Amino acid sequence: MSLAPASGPASATAFTPRVFSGIQPSGGLTLGNYLGALKRFAGYQGGGAETIYCLVDLHALTVWQDPERLRQQTREAAAAFMAAGIDPARSILFNQSAVPAHAELAWLLSCVARVGWMDRMTQFKDKGGRDRERVSLGLYAYPALMAADILAYRATAVPVGEDQKQHLELTRDIAAKFNHDYGVDFFPLTEPVIEGAATRVMSLRDGTKKMSKSDPSDASRINLSDDADTIAQKIRKARTDAEPLPGSMEGLKDRPEARNLVNIFAALTDESPDAICARFEGQGFGAFKPALADAAVAHLAPITGRMNDLMRDPAELDRILRDGAARADVISAPIVEETRRIMGMIPKR
């Protein structure tokens, strides 16, 4: 797994190699989350860097959440992480709100970030829509909290899907401005790690839209909780075109739906998209879709099964998250304390 160098480009400080990433527990996880994030997260374990994975419940609150459902979805996301191979003994797995560093550093960094930077965030423009005056202040400030998540651990590498690239660039801008304004070399310029065939899994109904847990159409996505029949049916009904598959990805430039299905196939089976094209060259979707459905079910069914097993013991999931939070606190509390000192607060001790 390629990891970024442990120090920022202009930095003399050698930062401890640390991988950090987060997922919002604001609904069931999708195949997009799995291929773009979860599946890759597990691969960083044992690669010489500490791995820290966070269920960002404070981010979820930026839009209304039913309290009991949020709690349940947080447990479900924890179960999905573990079912996808994240081992809480080798990684730190926790929920964001249980570690005070996140909210505290978010405030400190929101005094470094500029309003003009926030105004450029396309995710806010998309989510805020036309009703921008009425969305929560948290939704606007969200990228500063995300920067705090990462910088509270001085994380050096952050694996994410393509949609988070702009937020990671903002995190680097905030870190650089902090270092510059206070004349320190304290925060690393974190590297985004956006790699693989599935950095942007698209909707099954519209190849120009991202597959998302918040899409009103359930047929647009595969949920990690879907059973084998549902997965097969959704793939069978996925929008495609009437052309046969070409011998390489070159031929799929103007065929977003077809390209998406080939990318999903490749990411599921750890092959290259070109290899998938070569295998199905000249064949139509009547042949391709059943093969894709088989691959998806073979890959996802064991994960769903493990997830369901883990969900049977919510007290154990809570215990694992609390243990992760205690370990996350040990790393992040001194970093936030040092940030406070640098910014001019009287030390706590």
Name the residues annotated as catalytic: 127, 210, 213
Which residues on adjacent β-strands are paired with residue 9? Answer: none
Dihedral, CA of residue 86, residue 89, residue 94 and residue 99, to nearest 10? -150
Q: Under the criterion CB under 6 A, does residue 102 sit at the interface with ligand AMP?
A: no
Tokens of 133: 């005056």
Which residues on adjacent β-strands are paired with residue 16? Answer: none
Q: Under the criterion CB under 6 A, does residue 224 sit at the interface with ligand AMP?
A: no
Q: If you search the block for the tokens 């609390």, which residue do you land on?
A: 322
Q: Under the criterion CB under 6 A, does residue 296 sit at the interface with ligand AMP?
A: no
Residue 154 interacts, among ligand AMP, ligand TRP, none and using kind-specific CB cut-offs from 5 to 8 Å, with none
Taking residue 305's Cβ as centre, other Cβ atoms within 10 Å add up to 11
Residue 158 interacts, among ligand AMP, ligand TRP, none and using kind-specific CB cut-offs from 5 to 8 Å, with ligand TRP
The 192-211 contact track toward ligand AMP, x by CB under 6 A, reads ------xxxx--------xx
Sign of CA dihedral 279, 283, 285, 289: negative
- Minimum CB separation from ligand AMP for residue 80, in Å? 11
What is the strand order of the sheet 191-193 is part of?
92-95, 50-55, 18-23, 157-159, 191-193
Q: Under the criterion CB under 6 A, does residue 20 sit at the interface with ligand TRP?
A: yes
3 state SS of 15: coil
Q: Under the criterion CB under 6 A, does residue 25 sit at the interface with ligand TRP?
A: no
**In 3D, which of 133, 280, 171, 296 has the Cα closest to residue 223?**
296
Q: Using CB under 6 A, which residues numbered 50 to 79 contact ligand TRP?
A: 56, 59
Taking residue 346's Cβ as centre, other Cβ atoms within 10 Å add up to 6
Q: At 60, which amino acid appears?
A: A
Closer CB to ligand AMP, 33 or 179, in the complex:
33
3 state SS of 299: helix
Residue 175 interacts, among ligand AMP, ligand TRP, none and using kind-specific CB cut-offs from 5 to 8 Å, with none
Residue 157 interacts, among ligand AMP, ligand TRP, none and using kind-specific CB cut-offs from 5 to 8 Å, with none
- Minimum CB separation from ligand TRP for residue 112, in Å? 17
Which residues of the chain form contacts with ligand TRP (CB under 6 A)?
A: 20-24, 56, 59, 146, 149-150, 158, 160, 164, 167
Which residues of the chain form contacts with ligand AMP (CB under 6 A)?
A: 23-24, 32-33, 36-37, 160-161, 163-164, 198-201, 210-211
